[in-house]
Structure 1
Amino acid sequence: MGLPDFGGRRRVPGLRREEVALVAGMSAEYYKRLERGHAAGVSEAVIDGVSRALRLDEAEHAHLHDLIRAANAGAHPRPRARTARKSQLTSGMSQTIDAMSTVPVFVQNGRLDAVATNRLGAALFSEMLVGARPPANAARFIFLEPRAQTFYREWEAQTRQIVAVLRAEAGRSPYDRQLSDLVGELSTRSDLFRKLWGAHDVREHRTGLKLVHHPVVGDLDLTFQAMDLASDRGLQMVVFSAEPGSPSQERLQLLANVAETVRG
């Protein structure tokens, strides 16, 4: 990276504080102040410089921005309105997802509460939704329900993704009481959650592969696309699909038939 030689032997990998400050284009003393949480008046250029020096990805950069925004709000407090996450869809969007009958649709807020599903989405995630105290929550299911370890075929990877998504939401909504309560509950009841939460990993998962074992139709390999809803701000619609002609598509069609039969 073209850094000067600061001398001495490195005991751990990575940049020293002075090197991060140099790459970020600021003094080491100013960077120390940022590390201590003194972020009042920090400019976009400074945030970009720190992100570049630490090689943050897009989600991590956004999280850093959210943390600094929260620190600035704390330095200049004013009456705060309660953070409210939407708990239902507009009627138009509900009609839209109901019309998407050939793919499972799951709508969630930033806390990963299940806000709405279409019929096939409800059938796919029946293990999470049936019997759950409202609102059903993906994080609560995966860490506190033993069934989750059978439902998610890559359960350990899924736990890390869930925590990283919640950590990013905590940066965006630092005053969300319900999110704080959820994190407190999971930290108290799950040693694994407490360990992963302490790692401060941040990610946004907008596309990927979900491997599940459904109790009715068996293994499903499903790709997913997550989209923020412009008409329902704060909500995200996740749409799942299977590769055409694959066993997963056949099983997904079977699940749709079962769901339609139960409805009838």
Structure 2
Amino acid sequence: MKRDPRRHDLGEFLKARRAELAPAVVGLPDGGPRRVAGLRREEIAVLAAISTDYYARLEQGRIQPSPSVLESLARVLHLDDDQRAYLYELAANNEFRAPRRPSHPRVQPQLQRMLDDMAHTPAFVIGPRTEIVAWNAMAAALITDFGKIPEKQRYYIRLLITDPAMRDLYADWEGVTRLAIAQMRMHNTNNPGDVRLAALVGELSAQDEQFRRWWGAHDVAVRDTGNKHLRHPVVGSLYLDWNAVTWAADPDLQIIVWTAEPGTPTHDSLRVLASWSADSSRSTRSST
């Protein structure tokens, strides 16, 4: 019988969270050196008031947990809101739910027009696997010229891992990359066994040891809002806020919009960048 990929992911997630917990965090004595990091299976089982065998089968992806067990595990493992939501989504009963597997997201013309009308605001459209499917001139000027990247390679996470310029662009490259990986895992909860995601993860895992380790940590985060410090080669240091807006016509797509508070140096720098981008575009057109 083929194993449910959701249950496999659930088991791996539980193991990763168990490995992060120190005995003192849950009120247990240290007890000296341990062969593996974190708590033992039997310790989690006792704290969650379930049998060790039951918990072992959960980590092995062999059984479907009950709601009461999920609540106990979320409490025992000290899960935050995003981790709790991910746990419950993985454990959801899929008997009557068709798996959602986005293939090749496409942007409708009206969405592209909206992006293009944002003359001073960098914005791009991202899919669950971090595929970049649309962008405006300011996003290209701020981050990279996405149009020069072959579509099959145009994944934000791939750029973060493989493009040295992206490491220079982000002041906190590691934090940005780890968050992007956690968001990618979270936003693909409903895509178990997705072939394109598996190929991307396999490629990056083979190329980069850090990606392999961070993906294996099973961290999760919702892509919603935040801020970034960028070191741009043209306009220098930028402190930007970003927001993710889900596109109602295709919930698999999110619009990422970068803004700065009016009156700040970053707000002024975006105007300079917009002018520079327009000049570069005119120069390109006149030379062709």
Alignment TM-score, normalising by the size of structure 2: 0.76
| Alpha-carbon spacing, 1:15–1:217, altered in 2? closer, same or farther (3 Å) | same
Pair 1:39-2:63 in alignment: yes
| Structure 2 unaligned spans of 5+ | 1-25, 283-288
Preserved CA contact (<8 Å) 1:160 1:196: yes
Preserved CA contact (<8 Å) 1:82 1:176: no
* CA distance, structure 2, for counterparts of residue 99 and residue 259 of structure 1: 14
Query: 1:177: which partner in 2?
Result: 195
Query: 1:143: which partner in 2?
Result: 161
Tell me the percent identity: 35
Query: 1:49: which partner in 2?
Result: 72
Query: 2:140: which partner in 1?
Result: 122
Residue type matched to 2:170 in 1? Y
Query: 1:132: which partner in 2?
Result: 149
Query: 1:217: which partner in 2?
Result: 235
1:33-71 residue CA offsets vs partner (Å, 9 max, x unmatched):
21221233x3333322221221211221232234334xx
Pair 1:247-2:247 in alignment: no
Matching of residues 1-264 of structure 1 within 5 Å: 9=31, 11=33, 17-40=41-64, 42-69=65-92, 83-126=101-144, 129-135=146-152, 136-264=154-282
Residue type matched to 2:31 in 1? R
* CA distance, structure 2, for counterparts of residue 22 and residue 113 of structure 1: 43
| Structure 1 unaligned spans of 5+ | none
Bigger mean CA offset, 47-56 vs 59-68: 59-68
Deviation at 1:197, TM superposition (A): 1.8
RMSD over equivalenced CA pairs, Å: 3.0
| Alpha-carbon spacing, 1:157–1:81, altered in 2? closer, same or farther (3 Å) | closer
Residue type matched to 1:45 in 2? S
* CA distance, structure 1, for counterparts of residue 66 and residue 117 of structure 2: 46
Deviation at 1:94, TM superposition (A): 2.5
Deviation at 1:10, TM superposition (A): 5.8
Deviation at 1:17, TM superposition (A): 3.8
* CA distance, structure 2, for counterparts of residue 84 and residue 190 of structure 1: 26
1:66-117 residue CA offsets vs partner (Å, 9 max, x unmatched):
4334xx66xx7x9x87822452222333333333333211110011111111
* CA distance, structure 1, for counterparts of residue 99 and residue 254 of structure 2: 22
Deviation at 1:149, TM superposition (A): 1.5
* CA distance, structure 2, for counterparts of residue 141 and residue 39 of structure 1: 38
* CA distance, structure 1, for counterparts of residue 30 and residue 112 of structure 2: 62
* CA distance, structure 2, for counterparts of residue 245 and residue 7 of structure 1: 54
Query: 2:21: which partner in 1?
Result: none
* CA distance, structure 2, for counterparts of residue 81 and residue 51 of structure 1: 25
